[in-house]
Chain A
Amino acid sequence: MPPTALQCKECGSRYGLDARYVCEQCFGPLEVAYEAPQADAAELRRKIQAGSSGIWRYADFLPFSERPKDPLEPGLTPLVKADQLAERLGIGELWIKNDAANPTHSFKDRVVAVAAAKAQELGFETLACASTGNLANAVAAHAAARGLESYVFVPADLEEQKLLATGVYGTRLVGIRGNYDDVNRLCTQLCEERPWAFVNVNLRPYYAEGSKTLAYETVEQLGWTLPDRVVVPIASGSLFTKIGRGFTEWLELGLVEGELPTFNGAQAEGCSPVATAYQEGWEVCKPQRPDTIAKSLAIGNPADGPYALELARRTGGTIEAVTDDEIRAAIRLLAETTGIFTETAGGVTIATLAKLAERGDIDPSERVVAYITGEGLKTLDATRDGFVMHEIDPTVEALDAEFATATSAVAAH
């Protein structure tokens, strides 16, 4: 499915396949357009199954004429059947797509792998990004693996774990005094001033395509079938809409049959411009100033907000907002029932799933997939005070005494 052009999603104007991201006619976002594939569905499926064990098995659906080399290939992360969690929430069939199982422990490896390959193809020597943390980790790592220079711009008050897991790769880490939207504005300006490949600015049309692989993997791992419903976190709305595009492409190509799943978007109340617009019936989002523990979703001015709203409404879904306390509780719920430890964004997803289940939105016959996009070790602070540690002397008696007390204390309550 060779790429043919960059095309404006708003007015349809077409441009060459270079480093650009915005339509000169109407300022709309550009998206990669493809030629219809020569091969039929059976042949496409054979090529996928004979491919690599990561995202490049889907190279036919990514914006390259030839499969690029990748020294740090992400993808084919586990899709885990979560029976205990399903039972707790009263859901018929529940799957967790654990995308923390990527080279830098978040789904951002998918988008950066695509953007970095495109940056090298276009002759860039420096990779850069505006990031809330996960992207910073991925850009620094993929630049290192490819021998490229990199600059990573983040809000200076980011979680320490994310700063450490970025700095280790030898990138030029720049902390901006401001929030993500300030970082983003600076990077949009820098894009005009520096010959750098900003993965989520001037390479954004290619970068965003990487998220489609989450849809492809879901279909393949479910035995070439579709889920009935997906629950996906929303920051800019790019992941949400690209998972939709991935399913749509495969439906159109006959690689899978059925209907587009119901799309539920998940946001934190402290940064919920898309959920608010959904509630209010707006077609566009009013920017917000983020204040939430879910910093990886703290985009107050979401670029793909209008498209996320459109997708949720078209598929009969919703976009929800959950509180910081619900996020913390959901991180523990997921960990206790599946053994998967997620960062705050995953807490937002599971809290939203719980909310939908409690409200009776999910029919017991439905097959649901929830997307866990990042690793719990990146936001350890969110789990503090969620449990107690029993500190004792190194004797068997001390252990017995401790738990006898703990048991009788519980009984006394």
Chain B
Amino acid sequence: MAITVKIPAQLRAATGGEGEIQVEGSTVGEALDAVFEQYAGLRERITEDGTLRRFVNVYVSGEDIRFQDGLDTALDDGDEVTILPAVAGGA
């Protein structure tokens, strides 16, 4: 599956300024692993002990993966995976 992973501005220092990364993967976890292979610095910023850090939100086509199957959420060809900080917002 060809997947686009969107990187928020706060993490682009670790991707050389790149905001969109094209990878292959059939789940969110696989797509993120493929991103970490290209940009090793991202892994520890987003994950801790193999799970997402508590202030990281990941969306597939606008839907929070915690409402789906988490990192095991299945992806279709052409899906967009968006990483966003969770700390925003407040009524």
Q: Enumerate chain A interface residues (CB-CB to B < 8 A).
A: 10, 20-30, 108, 130-132, 134-135, 180-182, 184-185, 187-189, 191-192, 198, 200-201, 204, 207-208, 235-236, 238, 283-284, 286-287, 289, 296-297, 299, 301, 303-304, 306
Q: How many A-B residue pairs have CB under 8 A?
A: 110
* A201-B56 in contact (CB<8A): no
Q: Looking at the complex, which one of B54, B66, B85, B90 makes contact with A238 (CB distance below 8 Å)?
A: B90
* A27-B90 in contact (CB<8A): no
Those of B42-64 within 8 Å (CB) of chain A? 45-46, 53-57, 59, 62, 64
In the bound assembly, the distance between CA atoms of A5 and B10 in angstroms comes to 17
* B85-A27 in contact (CB<8A): yes
In the bound assembly, the distance between CA atoms of A304 and B54 in angstroms comes to 11
* B91-A303 in contact (CB<8A): no
Contact status of A287 and B62, CB under 8 A, knowing A26-B45, A188-B85, A303-B88: no
Q: Looking at the complex, which one of B13, B54, B67 makes contact with A284 (CB distance below 8 Å)?
A: B54
* B90-A208 in contact (CB<8A): yes
Q: How far is the CB of A410 from chain B (nearest CB, A)?
A: 42
Known A24-B45, A182-B62, A200-B90; further 11 A-B contacts with Cβ < 8 A = A22-B87, A24-B11, A26-B53, A28-B87, A192-B9, A200-B89, A283-B54, A286-B66, A287-B66, A301-B57, A303-B55
Residues on A with C-beta less than 8 A from B90 are 135, 200, 204, 207-208, 235-236, 238, 299, 303-304
Residues on A with C-beta less than 8 A from B46 are 27
Please tell me if B21 contacts chain A, counting CB pairs below 8 Å. Answer: no
In the bound assembly, the distance between CA atoms of A185 and B87 in angstroms comes to 11
Residue of B nearest to A22 (CB): B85
Those of B8-25 within 8 Å (CB) of chain A? 8-11, 13
Residues on A with C-beta less than 8 A from B59 are 185
Q: Looking at the complex, which one of B11, B67, B85 makes contact with A287 (CB distance below 8 Å)?
A: B67
* B91-A297 in contact (CB<8A): yes
How many residues from B make CB contacts under 8 Å with A?
Answer: 26
In the bound assembly, the distance between CA atoms of A299 and B59 in angstroms comes to 17
Please tell me if B86 contacts chain A, counting CB pairs below 8 Å. Answer: yes
Residues on A with C-beta less than 8 A from B45 are 24-27
In the bound assembly, the distance between CA atoms of A131 and B89 in angstroms comes to 8
In the bound assembly, the distance between CA atoms of A10 and B55 in angstroms comes to 9
Q: How far is the CB of A137 from chain B (nearest CB, A)?
A: 11
A to B CB contacts below 8 Å, 16 in the list: A10-B55, A22-B10, A24-B45, A27-B53, A28-B53, A108-B91, A181-B89, A182-B62, A187-B88, A200-B88, A200-B91, A201-B88, A238-B90, A283-B54, A287-B66, A301-B86
In the bound assembly, the distance between CA atoms of A235 and B54 in angstroms comes to 18
* B89-A201 in contact (CB<8A): yes
In the bound assembly, the distance between CA atoms of A147 and B54 in angstroms comes to 38
Residues on B with C-beta less than 8 A from A200 are 88-91
Residue of B nearest to A132 (CB): B91
* B9-A27 in contact (CB<8A): no
Contact status of A184 and B64, CB under 8 A, knowing A24-B10, A24-B11, A192-B8: no
Q: Looking at the complex, which one of A20, A185, A287, A296 makes contact with B84 (CB distance below 8 Å)?
A: A185
In the bound assembly, the distance between CA atoms of A30 and B88 in angstroms comes to 10
Q: How far is the CB of A135 from chain B (nearest CB, A)?
A: 6
* B13-A188 in contact (CB<8A): no
Q: How far is the CB of A13 from chain B (nearest CB, A)?
A: 11
Contact status of A287 and B64, CB under 8 A, knowing A25-B45, A29-B55: yes
Q: How far is the CB of A106 from chain B (nearest CB, A)?
A: 9
Those of B63-78 within 8 Å (CB) of chain A? 64, 66-67
In the bound assembly, the distance between CA atoms of A22 and B88 in angstroms comes to 8
Q: How far is the CB of A252 from chain B (nearest CB, A)?
A: 25
In the bound assembly, the distance between CA atoms of A27 and B55 in angstroms comes to 6
In the bound assembly, the distance between CA atoms of A235 and B89 in angstroms comes to 10
In the bound assembly, the distance between CA atoms of A185 and B88 in angstroms comes to 8
